[in-house]
Structure 1
Amino acid sequence: MKKYVTGFLFSQDTNQIVLIKKINPQWQRGLFNGIGGKVEANETSIDAMVRECAEETGVITQPVDWQYFANVFRPNGYDVDLYFARTDLALSAKTMEAEEIHIMKVSAIPKNIIPNLQWLIPLALDNQADFSTPVFIKEIAQERLKA
């Protein structure tokens, strides 16, 4: 099973968010997603988040900048650790790779986003949530969805 990280980089006031317009994988093409990617061998999840942020946005962060708030797991599919950071460094994010970086108002996130971001982004912004124990979401396997 592949391990991934996805992070939501917000401005300090949480009015802006950095999202990536995806090219790959094919099923994500044209959709917006958070910053992230695969956790490499011998790399911790938080170290992958810091690395992916720097590689994709040019924004240099530290592990302490990121809050681990949720895990989305699909049996026989993927295991994704989700993070968020609140820093005005978000406003300096720029496209570093083939996939374009977009800084946008949280109130104006487009409809063409990865479907679960519709509720994961508001969850990350919930100031009343205690993420000392991250939220664990086990998704239904595709086979069960077809039944």
Structure 2
Amino acid sequence: MTKMAYVVGFLFDGNCGRVTLIEKRRPAWMAGRLNGIGGKIEPGEAPLAAMYREGAEEIGVAPAWKPIAALDYPDAMVSVFGARSGNAFAAAQSQIDEPIVKCLVADLAWAGRAVTDVYFLVPLARHSLMYCHIYSPRLRMSEQPEIAEARLSERRGPTI
């Protein structure tokens, strides 16, 4: 059985104090719960390209998505991305029939309505964007590897 492939991204404001989430309406088990921006990776599409497409489709902006992690579930692979941009955060608006919620990261744990993985992925993405870059080498393989590698090198700093 081939695993489904998905992307999920978390867009933070400039100081990473707030995050943009989607209030899901479907599938039924997710209705009313908060999740990151994202969706299925199309056949032949690289994870980074899928994240840019999903971001544009769902929130109408294309921040500089950074790879954070790859989650290997029994039935799915999920590529996790984060972005930190005050301008993109302010401009983000729902482009679909599911509303976006811009919430304080500190309040997320008390909200009680997020999809389970959001509770650990938001702090992981926030920490990665603020302090150190955590990434999976698999995510560097994109349709434009030189761009992905340049972004990662930018975050890592010079090689010693």
1:133 CA displacement: 4.0
Residue 114 of structure 2: SS of its match in structure 1? coil
Alignment check: 8 A CA contact 2:69 2:135 kept: no
Q: How does 1:103-122 map to 2 (within 5 A)?
A: 103-109=102-108, 110-122=111-123
Equivalences for 1:1-147 in 2 at 5 Å?
A: 1-61=3-63, 65-75=64-74, 77-88=75-86, 89-109=88-108, 110-126=111-127, 127-133=130-136
Say which SS state the counterpart of residue 45 (structure 2) adopts.
Answer: coil
Unpaired runs of 5+ residues, structure 1, are: 135-147
- Whether the 8 Å CA contact 1:71–1:81 is kept in 2: the answer is yes
Which amino acid in the other structure matches residue 131 of structure 1?
I
Superposition deviation, residue 4 in structure 1: 0.2
| Aligned-pair Cα RMSD in Å | 1.7
Question: Which of the two has greater strand per residue?
Answer: 1
Q: Distance in 2 between matches of 1:101 and 1:79?
A: 24
Tell me how far 1:92 sits from its aligned partner. 1.4
| TM-score for both structures, normalised by structure 2 | 0.76
Give the Cα separation in 2 of the matches to 1:105 and 1:73: 28
Gaps of 5+ in 2: 138-160
Identical positions, percent: 34
1:93-129 CA deviation, whole Å, 9 max, x = no partner?
1111111111121122221001121111111122444
Deviations 1:70-96 (A, max 9, x none): 111112x11100000001111211111
SS of match in other structure, 2:80: strand
Runs of 4+ with deviation above 6 angstroms: none
Distance 1:133 1:92 in 2: 29
